[in-house]
Amino acid sequence: MQTIILAIESSCDDTSAAVLVDGQILSNCVAGQEAHRQYGGVVPEVASRAHQANIIPVVHMALQQAGVRTTDLSGIAFTRGPGLIGSLIVGVSFAKALAMSLDIPLVEVHHMQAHVLAHFAEDPRPDFPFLCLTVSGGHTQIVIVKDYLDMEVIGSTIDDAAGEAFDKTGKLLGLDYPAGPHIDRLARQGKARFSFPEPQITGLDFSFSGLKTSILYFLKKELRQNPQFIEQNLEDICASVQDRIVSILMHKLILAAEQTGIRDVAIAGGVSANSGLREALEQTGREKGWRTFIPAFEYCTDNAGMIAVAGYHKFLKGEFAPLDVRPVARWEM
């Protein structure tokens, strides 16, 4: 008998549903939320309401694209956390109600574990153990991935996440939220000729709040002399900011590979869509003799396909959630 999983992701501002059949993703639909752009960041209340409006159409679309009926489903996987509580509640309540009505198991998924498991959405799939730098809007972690559901976090941010560093800098530059993709696009036309300091933090942890402050003071100083400084130098500023964020991430990843002796190295999460980071990983991989793994774009940013992969492996192990399961905003991996 086939194992058919419907997965739901609603941890932040993307509503997503995916269908996986025996380990293969047949559909992965995402409804983004434009409403946050005008506020320069995700507004939790607006996000919850948009999830409520989007969830049924997105689930319908995922089932339709996969050619699967609800009565074919073996189980329902959902993001339990971490994330915005109001956003999570929509996905969790939907998953619970559908699982209850179909009398099939519910499978809870940790969002950051799922970002790592995006590497198993398509070939090439890494072998265990591998190192994964998971970089998103809320998290920055280096993880030793020992098995599908066995991961050890060996480094993480002590303040802002890498995605926040992109988004907050973008806000200073007047770019729309989320600014990561805009900085990426502008950086490709610029030169990294402004230098921002690398944080002096030992070990495998990261810090990005100092970078944000140094960019703020740099811009203030330049704007006093030339009020058009940002407009005139936008591409070069973006290239310089991206260059520094990427070098901070890569230095720690190189250190982690040296310390663990692991040579299969992957990146995951929204920021792994960044072209500078993707190029830096490939370049460093060639220099160091690593095998490198980068997910396809659709599996980098938030998507239910990755939730389906994680849910499938938990389903096979019989790790089901009770019907009174609650979403959790904070959840250690």
Q: What residues line the site for ligand KG4 (CB under 6 A)?
A: 12, 136-138, 163, 166-167, 178-181, 184, 269-271, 273-274, 301-302
Cβ closest to ligand KG4, residue 184 vs residue 243: 184
86 binds, among ligand KG4, Zn ion, none (CB under 5 to 8 A by kind): none
271 binds, among Zn ion, ligand KG4, none (CB under 5 to 8 A by kind): ligand KG4
Phi, then psi, of 246 in degrees rounded to 5: -65, -40
Judged by CB under 5 A, the number of residues near Zn ion is: 2
Cβ closest to Zn ion, residue 113 vs residue 136: 136
Cβ closest to ligand KG4, residue 105 vs residue 137: 137
Cβ closest to ligand KG4, residue 74 vs residue 274: 274
Distance CA 135, CA 118 (A): 13
Cβ closest to ligand KG4, residue 264 vs residue 302: 302
Phi, then psi, of 111 in degrees rounded to 5: -55, -40
305 binds, among ligand KG4, Zn ion, none (CB under 5 to 8 A by kind): none
Encoded amino acid at 322, one letter: P
- Interface region with Zn ion, contact rule CB under 5 A, candidates 69-77, 98-106, 299-307, 320-328: 299-307
180 binds, among ligand KG4, Zn ion, none (CB under 5 to 8 A by kind): ligand KG4
And the tokens for 27? Answer: 């559909």
Return the residue of 10, 79, 136, 292 that touches Zn ion, per CB under 5 A: 136
Cβ closest to ligand KG4, residue 233 vs residue 274: 274
Smallest gap from Cβ 134 to Zn ion, in A, equals 9
Smallest gap from Cβ 223 to ligand KG4, in A, equals 24
166 binds, among Zn ion, ligand KG4, none (CB under 5 to 8 A by kind): ligand KG4
10 binds, among Zn ion, ligand KG4, none (CB under 5 to 8 A by kind): none
Q: Answer yes or no whether residue 302 interacts with Zn ion by CB under 5 A.
A: yes
Cβ closest to ligand KG4, residue 269 vs residue 305: 269
Phi, then psi, of 193 in degrees rounded to 5: -100, -5
Distance CA 216, CA 233 (A): 15
CA distances from 111 to 11, 81, 83, 89, 282 (A): 8, 6, 8, 14, 26
B/e letters for 237-274, b = 16+ CB within 10 Å, e = fewer, are: bbbbbbbbbbebbbebbeebbeeeebebbbbbbbbbbb
Q: Please choose, from the candidates 309, 245, 296, 253, the residue with its C-alpha nearest in 3D space to the C-alpha of residue 111.
A: 309
274 binds, among Zn ion, ligand KG4, none (CB under 5 to 8 A by kind): ligand KG4
Long-range contacts of 194-203 (CB under 8 A, 24+ apart): 194/218, 194/233, 194/236, 194/237, 194/240, 195/240, 195/244, 196/240, 196/241, 196/244, 198/244, 198/247, 198/248, 198/251, 199/248, 201/158, 203/155
Phi, then psi, of 208 in degrees rounded to 5: -125, -5
Binding residues (CB under 5 A) for Zn ion: these are 136, 302
